[in-house]
Amino acid sequence: MSELALEVHDLSYRYRSRSEPALQGVSFRVRRGELVLVAGASGSGKTTLMRILNGLIPHSYRGGDLQGTLRILGHDPTGVSLAQRSLWVGTVLQDPERQIIGAYVFNDVAFGLENLAVPRPEMVRRVDGVLQALEIGHLRERETYALSGGEKQKVAVAGTLVMEPDVLLLDEPLANLDPAGVDEALALIRRLVDAGKTVLLIEHRVEDVLRIRPDRVLFLEAGRQRYFGPVEGFLQVAHPQEVKLPAEVAVQRLRAQGVTVEPPPRRPRAADDAEPLIVLEGVTFGYTDDRAVLHDLHAAVYPGDVIALLGPNGAGKTTLVRHLIGLARPRQGRVRVQGRDTRAVSVAQLARSVGFVFQNPRHMLFAPTVWEEFAFGPRNLGFPEERVQANVRRSLDIVDLADYATVSPLALSFGQQRRAAIGAVLSMDPAVLVLDEPTAGQDYRHYIAFMDAIVRMPFAAIVFITHDLDLAVRYANRVWLMHAGRLVADGPPEEVLAQDDLLQQCRLRPTSLLRLNRSLLPHTGRFLPLESLARLDASLFA
């Protein structure tokens, strides 16, 4: 038996629809029982590498140009069927909805075992075991369509782990999980590696993955291999404004490099007597008669607000923001948007006031090209064509998709599709912008670039759902904290995020950036982004 799980030599691939290779000259070797972090920006070739390893290239993606050699567990996979390859290599896709096919959680997780004719007692034991390990046993009989994004992510992970493959490819499995869910998933991955599994973990959340001690890091840039080796070397190669590194490391590197880019200032809050843009008055709501998702919510959005909406998976965050755009109507209480009761106006009318970017971009994208996608909304709102054209060009620049204007949005990578969905809403110039997990699946450079641009734009207010506490630290001037369908905190981030007991209750874990800001708060008076921390006197960090 080969001690090597993967042997990759001079691997290159060009999609048939592209003139340039998506992957070029990649070579590395992974031993059995190793954990390898695969890092790199969106479009760097990470997902293409995964498709080659699991056999989707060339079995499903046909007509491309594949070169180089590959061995899996000592075998040459050339000519091996996709079904056989799946017994060697298990994959968790970036978009969990593309992987979930069962109507109920148990059925979905058991699907692969059923296809292998695993005896039912063994099947039930393995399914229940992985559900308990991921702490989603309570979802066993739940309908998959009713799950939150993070819950779907866990179910997708469970459906792969239950097959017990020797090699696991995880394509951003942490993207939609709350921080406690991230801890649980990472702990399970570490246990699998310690038990002898080989794991390649594609992830932008580098700081989180470093906690489980990856053996090596594969760092890709523009389809080429920039680095393969121990974590220590990667921390010195990766740029702290392109890869999200631990705050202490990033500040040290930024100081040494002499940072010159000033981050956008935090928006000032509105005056105390300002009229609210959106008001929620005693909002109670449930998708079924027997189960309430929101309980007696009272809140308001004011001009100047940049609100980070935080809380665990299933807390009701997405349901809350669906009320802001009329996609859900309260069973009790009411929601007023710029003075109008949402039950008395259409969703189309509310779209002039509130723009909403869905958590899953595939729920929004449909046009033949990115340009037409961005133009669709403003044209339907009756904008003059000159304004439509200007808005589209501006939005393409903000989300860094100008080079893809003539490409189908559904042909983009998942991270690029997220940016396309955001750009389509930006083009409509809504007064209030609402974003559901805008940075999930995004590389650090892109999410900083478009969030910096968004907060500089003249939106009256911005509300964003996130599990990323660093996003709240960097941009929010106000935090809404939800738990079990209730708003349990509303205030400045320096106050709300200082309460460890409250964060723990809401399954949130302080990041290195939050901890560093807390320690420096007596000197700074407010939370600061990395670039500003790097400008502080070095003696404060002693």
Give the three-class secondary structure for 20: coil
Over residues 332-337, mean pLDDT:
95
- Convert the pLDDT of each residue in 386-395 to its tens digit: 999 999 999 9
Rounded distance, CA 238 to CA 300, Å?
41
Q: H or E segment at 502?
A: helix 500-505
Residue in 47, 41, 444, 508 with CA at minimum distance from that of residue 254: 444
Contact by Cβ (8 Å): 96, 131: no
Q: Kindly tell me if the per-residue pLDDT of 276 is higher than 60.
A: yes
The model's pLDDT over 359-411, given as tens digits with 9 standing for 90+, comes to 778 888 999 999 999 999 999 989 999 999 999 999 999 888 999 999 999 88
Cβ atoms of residues 39 and 110 within 8 Å:
no
* pLDDT for the residue numbered 261: 65
What secondary structure does DSSP assign to 106-138, as a single string? HHHHHHHHHHTT--HHHHHHHHHHHHHHTT-GG
Identify residue 206 by its one-letter amino acid code.
V
The band of 497, judged by pLDDT with boundaries at 50, 70 and 90, is very high
User: Would you say residue 149 has pLDDT above 90?
Assistant: no
Between vectors from CA 242 to CA 236 and to CA 247, what angle results, nearest 5°? 65
Q: What is the distance between the alpha carbons of residues 495 and 493, in angstroms, rounded to a whole number?
A: 5
Give CATH 3.40.50.300 domain extents, the chain: 4-238, 278-511
CB 24, CB 202: distance < 8 Å: no
Decide which of 19 and 225 is more confident: 225
Please determine, for residue 476, whether its predicted confidence score (pLDDT) is greater than 90.
yes
Query: Which strands, in side-by-side order, build the sheet including 478-483?
Result: 354-357, 432-436, 461-465, 306-310, 478-483, 486-491
Q: Indicate the CATH number of 278-511 among 3.40.50.300, 3.20.190.10, 3.40.50.2000, 3.30.930.10.
A: 3.40.50.300
Q: Rounded to an integer, what distance in angstroms lies between the CA atom of residue 442 and that of residue 86?
A: 27
Judged against a pLDDT cut of 70, whether residue 134 lies above it is answered with: yes
Write down the H helix ranges in 199-268: 206-210, 231-237, 247-257
Least confident of 175-179, 326-330, 454-458: 175-179
Distance CA 494, CA 151 (A): 29
Percentage of the chain surpassing pLDDT 90? 59
What is the average per-residue pLDDT within 413-429?
86
Within its chain, how far is the Cα of 183 from the centroid? 15
Q: Tens of pLDDT along 94-125?
A: 777 888 999 999 999 999 899 888 999 999 99
State the distance between the two ends of the chain, measured CA to CA, in whole angstroms: 51
Q: What pLDDT band is residue 241 in, cutting at 50, 70 and 90?
A: confident
Question: Do residues 530 and 240 make contact, with C-beta atoms less than 8 angstroms apart?
Answer: yes
- Predicted confidence (pLDDT) at residue 145 exceeds the cutoff of 90: no
The CA distance from 504 to 116, in Å, is: 41
Q: Which of 110, 158, 156 is nearest to 132 (CA)?
A: 158
With cut-offs at 50, 70 and 90, classify the pLDDT of residue 157. confident
Dump pLDDT digits (tens) for 180-214: 878 878 888 898 899 889 999 999 889 899 999 99
Report percent pLDDT > 70 for the chain: 98
Q: Which residues contact 313 (CB under 8 A, 6 or more apart)?
A: 148, 149, 150, 151, 176, 177, 178, 181, 507
Query: DSSP states of 512-530 as a string?
Result: HHHHHHHHHHHHHSS---H
Residue 26: burial class (beta carbons within 10 Å; 0-12, 13-18, 19+): buried
Mean pLDDT value across the chain: 90
Residue 273 has pLDDT above 80, yes or no: no
Average of per-residue pLDDT across 275-286: 95
Is the pLDDT at 462 greater than 80? The verdict is yes
Give residue 303's pLDDT: 94
Query: What local confidence, expressed as pLDDT, does residue 260 receive?
Result: 64
What's the pLDDT score for residue 1?
57
**What is the structure's pLDDT at 184?**
79
Q: How far apart are CA 336 and CA 339, in angstroms?
A: 5
How far, CA to CA in Å, does 527 sit from each of 385, 495, 524? 42, 10, 7
The CATH number assigned to the domain with range 4-238 reads 3.40.50.300
- Which residues are registered as beta bridge partners of 354? 432
What pTM did the predictor assign? Answer: 0.80
Band of the pLDDT at 492, cuts 50, 70, 90?
Answer: very high
Alpha helices per DSSP H over 336-484? 347-350, 370-380, 385-398, 414-426, 444-456, 469-475
Confidence of residue 274 (pLDDT cuts 50, 70, 90): confident
Question: Taking 80 as the threshold, does the pLDDT of residue 177 lie above it?
Answer: no
